[in-house]
Amino acid sequence: MLKHRGFPGRLPGTDHQFVIRRANKDGATRIIARQRYADRRPADRRADIGFLAALIEHFGDEPFERGNLDAGRLSWLFGREVLPADDPFDPQCYAARLRVDLRAARASFPELFDGSEEA
């Protein structure tokens, strides 16, 4: 399992984790597209924003390996702002490659791009 050095471990001041410490001996947790409802707690929305901001800062729109990134946190963005980079895509593989869709990220979280250049 690739460990993304320099990637934040969690959202500061919260228990929302962004990475895992070690690989699961039974295999990677499946990434699924989770429905985000409008009534989500503000802390959960901040975690989505913080995680997406870290993904954009570290990888931009280039493909990246899932590695030690938290499957639960990826699942909140998967299918919208985070997309499979390869076909076929294995959602239970640590080596699976993903990419950030900057257009979808801008539409969903415009506050990340306020005052920045066009993506």
Alpha carbon 41 to its chain's center = 18
pLDDT at 54: 94
Q: What is the mean pLDDT of the chain?
A: 89
- Phi, psi at 58, each rounded to 5°: -85, -35
pLDDT of residue 119: 43
pLDDT tens-place string over residues 96-113? 999 999 999 999 999 988
DSSP SS3 for 8:
coil
pLDDT per position as a tens digit, 35-79: 988 888 888 899 999 999 999 999 999 999 999 999 999 999 999
pTM: 0.86
- Three-state DSSP class for residue 10: strand
Asked whether the beta carbons of 34 and 78 are under 8 A apart, the reply is yes
